[in-house]
Amino acid sequence: MDQRVILPRLSAAKIKQIIPSQTQLGIDRTCLDNLLIVFLIDLYFHIAVIIDGFLLIVIINN
């Protein structure tokens, strides 16, 4: 089942307050292919991954 969701715009500071970090969840990057991916556009480009009700934000830096 492929679902894509567009979330409201949030500041990066707000996102970090409400969303657990990758290390806190203990998520392996190799698992990301099997998860629901949500694209969130803000001042930076984020990839939000929904994991059992949690949102994981990975900031892409070029």
Is 35 a member of any domain? yes
In a domain, 45, yes or no: yes
Per-residue confidence (pLDDT) for residue 10, from 0 to 100: 53
Better-predicted residue by pLDDT, 61 or 56: 56
**Residue 25 domain-assigned (yes or no):** yes
pLDDT in tens, 6-59: 455 555 555 555 445 454 455 544 444 444 344 333 434 444 444 455 555 554
Residue 29 has a pLDDT of: 47
- Establish if 39 belongs to a structural domain: yes
* Structural domain that includes position 41: 12-59
- Give domain status of residue 33, yes or no: yes
Q: DSSP of the chain, one letter per residue?
A: -----PPPP--HHHHHHHS--HHHHT--GGGGGGSEEEEEESSSEEEEEEETTEEEEEE---
